[in-house]
């Protein structure tokens, strides 16, 4: 293991996925069905003028990598123009359910994995270039990504990490110097946009769909080989693969997925496209496309224009959709166990873990400790209903609540004015009647707060650590995109630094914690997005 940082083109890569699983080695990039294989060997397609736009310093330090110059050999690797000698690049084959419908073979259509690096703590991390050109799984697409979506993925991967949400990471954002034609909303208005590539990082990018494709095509040997690979590499604590271990493995996947979803719901994150091919086998947030954060609290809100008809992936539906996706994974791995019914208890693990984790997170957000589970659940449920009626910004409501609580505990006689001030800071509504129910809930909450033994200062500290001040609102990301497209990286760099400390006050950046401005309410990229890259 390296003791001093090294440049990525000199790093030594491992290639466990390629070395241990069945791959097609022809290097043929033509779109086609690829039966019988886990992956296809394929090299990235070179771009015209790669240039580094953003770099995750902390992640690079963890991986033992030094920051590259804006142009040069390292950036050529991060753009796909150069390969290190030890790399064996590949695109993975998988299938999936998209919006509830089986879509057949999908696969890495614009992502190419370079191999794995050993981090400073001895763990291995796969490096994957998203937007690196066509693969056999590109179907009718070009395998490229635009700056708009790439910047959003880079920023959000890192922002979620610093929020404490289980997630894949992002190492670099590189401009390609090429233009990519995209129709942002699939409405016939295609236009050229600047291209970019994100280097994504995770222990593995295997997803539910990798297993589904083998069940669909009857490739039982490949199904078992992939399951055994994932267990040995990423779940070694479960023991050597066996029918009993497969059951325990599925239970652990359910548990991790529940924790991830609880985190999403806790911070108001909406993924936007929870297809089974976008679900990590490690319970990590993966594939940042048309995501968003709740601004007015609305369980039916989705940022994804493609989903406006059914709102399948709306905020309030995410827990149910994750369960449905886990059921599809369970079906996919069912040939590996003695009796498919043995997998059912794992779904209960998901339900119970999600319920318990969400409850604990909500208690922390409210500065409460567990006293009476039933009464507290009723209080939390009433809050969620009332927030939806009040057009309250979720992030601002909880952050301002963290500051208001100690004031009201110390001077209850000022409670009425303090609650009104809170609502003025957090609500998008102009109708006072809509806020009345929330004021009544706050009075009920205050009575519950008085049962706590901790000091007002201790309660506040608990709340400030659970309620972020800064999240990656879509309008902030859009401002960074527009500036970057004009050659100004200062907005992106500032956002990156602020989002590394989402729970800190950082008063010099207060405007980045403001309510969504009126101009952003309907603006493309600020309120709504599509699955377009």
The phi-psi region of residue 107 (left if phi > 0; otherwise alpha if psi is between -120 and 50; otherwise beta) is left
Higher-confidence position of 390 and 19: 19
Q: Are 141 and 118 within 8 A, CB to CB?
A: no
Distance from C-alpha of 353 to C-alpha of 355, rounded to nearest angstrom: 5
Residue scoring higher pLDDT (433 or 252)? 252
pTM to 2 decimals? 0.97
Provide the pLDDT for residue 2: 46
Domain boundaries, the chain: 8-205, 209-363, 368-464
Residue 500 confidence (pLDDT) above 50: yes
Are the C-beta atoms of residues 313 and 270 closer than 8 Å to each other? yes
- Distances in Å between the alpha carbon of 234 and those of 38, 62, 283, 360? 17, 19, 12, 27
Two tokens at 30?
């033509």
For residue 527, is pLDDT > 80?
no
Q: What are 136-168's pLDDT values in tens digits? A: 999 989 999 999 999 999 999 999 999 999 999
Q: What is the mean pLDDT of the chain?
A: 95
- Give how far the C-alpha of residue 512 lies from the chain's centroid of Cα atoms, to the nearest Å: 21
Q: What is the pLDDT of residues 350-394, one digit of tens each?
A: 999 999 999 999 999 999 999 999 999 999 999 999 998 888 999
Measured between alpha carbons, how far is 134 from 137 in angstroms, rounded to an integer?
Answer: 8
Which residues pair with residue 521 across a beta bridge?
A: none
The residue with tokens 């090294």 is: 6
Q: Does the pLDDT of residue 439 top 60, yes or no?
A: yes
Mapped onto helix, strand or coil, the DSSP state of residue 457 is: helix
Closest CA to 182 of 436, 525, 477, 417: 525
Report, as residue numbers or ranges, the catalytic residues: 277
Whether residue 97 is predicted with pLDDT greater than 50 in this model: the reply is yes
Q: Please list, in sequence order, all residues whose beta carbon lies within 8 angstroms of the beta carbon of residue 280, skipping any fewer than 6 positions away.
A: 168, 202, 205, 206, 207, 286
pLDDT at 431 over 90: no
How far is 227 from 212, CA to CA, in rounded Å? 12
With beta carbons less than 8 A apart as the criterion, state whether 100 and 7 touch: no
Alpha-carbon distance of 84 to 87, in angstroms, equals 6
pLDDT score for 429: 80
pLDDT > 80? residue 430: no
Predicted local distance difference test score (pLDDT) of residue 1: 45
Give start and end residues of each alpha helix (H) in 44-189: 57-63, 73-79, 147-163
Q: Which two tokens stand for residue 511?
A: 């405007």
| Residue pair 156/56 in contact by the 8 Å Cβ criterion | no
The predicted-structure confidence for 129-144, as pLDDT tens digits, reads as follows 999 999 999 998 999 9
Q: List alpha helices for 413-489, DSSP H.
A: 415-426, 432-449, 456-464, 474-485
- Give me the mean pLDDT over the 450-458 stretch: 96
The answer, yes or no, to whether residue 186 has pLDDT greater than 90, is no
């Amino acid at each position: 293991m390296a003791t001093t940082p090294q440049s990525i083109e000199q790093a030594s890569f491992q290639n466990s996925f390629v070395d241990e699983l069945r791959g097609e080695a022809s290097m043929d990039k033509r779109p086609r069905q690829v039966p019988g294989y886990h992956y296809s060997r394929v090299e990235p397609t070179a771009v015209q003028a790669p240039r580094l736009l953003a770099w995750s310093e902390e992640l690079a330090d963890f991986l033992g990598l030094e920051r590259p110059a804006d142009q040069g050999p390292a950036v050529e690797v991060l753009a796909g123009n150069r390969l290190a000698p030890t790399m064996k690049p590949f695109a993975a084959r998988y299938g999936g359910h998209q919006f509830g419908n089986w879509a057949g073979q999908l696969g890495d259509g614009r992502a190419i994995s370079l191999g794995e690096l050993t981090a400073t703590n001895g763990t291995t991390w796969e490096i994957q270039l998203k937007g690196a050109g066509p693969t056999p799984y590109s179907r009718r697409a070009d395998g490229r990504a635009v700056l708009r979506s790439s910047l959003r993925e880079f920023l959000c991967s890192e922002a979620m990490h610093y929020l404490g949400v289980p997630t894949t990471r992002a190492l670099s954002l590189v401009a390609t110097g090429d233009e990519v034609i995209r129709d942002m909303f699939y409405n016939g208005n295609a236009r050229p946009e600047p291209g970019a590539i994100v280097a994504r990082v995770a222990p593995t990018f295997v997803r539910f769909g990798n297993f589904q494709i083998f069940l669909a095509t009857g490739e039982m040997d490949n199904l078992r080989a992939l399951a055994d690979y994932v267990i040995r590499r990423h779940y070694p604590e479960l023991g050597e693969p066996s029918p009993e271990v497969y059951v325990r493995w599925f239970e652990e996947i359910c548990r991790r997925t529940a924790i991830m979803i609880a985190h999403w719901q806790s911070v108001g994150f909406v993924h936007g496209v929870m297809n089974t091919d976008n679900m990590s086998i490690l319970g990590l947030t993966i594939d940042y496309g048309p995501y968003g954060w709740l601004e007015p609290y609305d369980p039916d809100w989705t940022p994804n224009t493609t989903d406006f008809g059914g709102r399948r992936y709306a905020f309030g539906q995410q827990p149910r959709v994750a369960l449905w996706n886990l059921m599809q994974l369970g079906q996919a791995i069912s040939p590996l166990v003695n009796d498919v019914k043995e997998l059912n208890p794992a779904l209960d693990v998901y339900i119970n873990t999600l319920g318990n984790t969400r409850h604990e997170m909500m208690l922390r957000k409210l500065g409460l400790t567990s006293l009476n589970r039933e009464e507290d659940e009723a209080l939390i449920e009433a809050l969620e209903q009332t927030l939806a009626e009040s057009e309250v910004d979720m992030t601002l409501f909880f952050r301002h609540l963290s500051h208001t609580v100690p004031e009201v505990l110390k001077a209850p006689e000022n409670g009425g004015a303090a609650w009104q001030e809170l609502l003025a800071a957090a609500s998008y509504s102009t109708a006072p009647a809509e806020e009345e129910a929330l004021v009544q809930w706050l009075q009920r909450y205050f009575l519950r707060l008085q049962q706590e033994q901790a000091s007002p200062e201790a309660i506040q500290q608990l709340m400030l650590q659970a309620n972020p001040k800064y999240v990656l609102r879509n309008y902030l990301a859009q401002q960074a995109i527009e500036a970057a497209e004009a050659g100004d990286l200062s907005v992106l760099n500032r956002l990156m630094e602020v989002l590394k400390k989402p729970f800190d006050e950082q008063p010099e950046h207060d405007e980045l914690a403001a309510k969504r401005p009126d101009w952003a309410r309907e603006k493309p990229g600020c309120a709504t997005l599509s699955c377009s890259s």
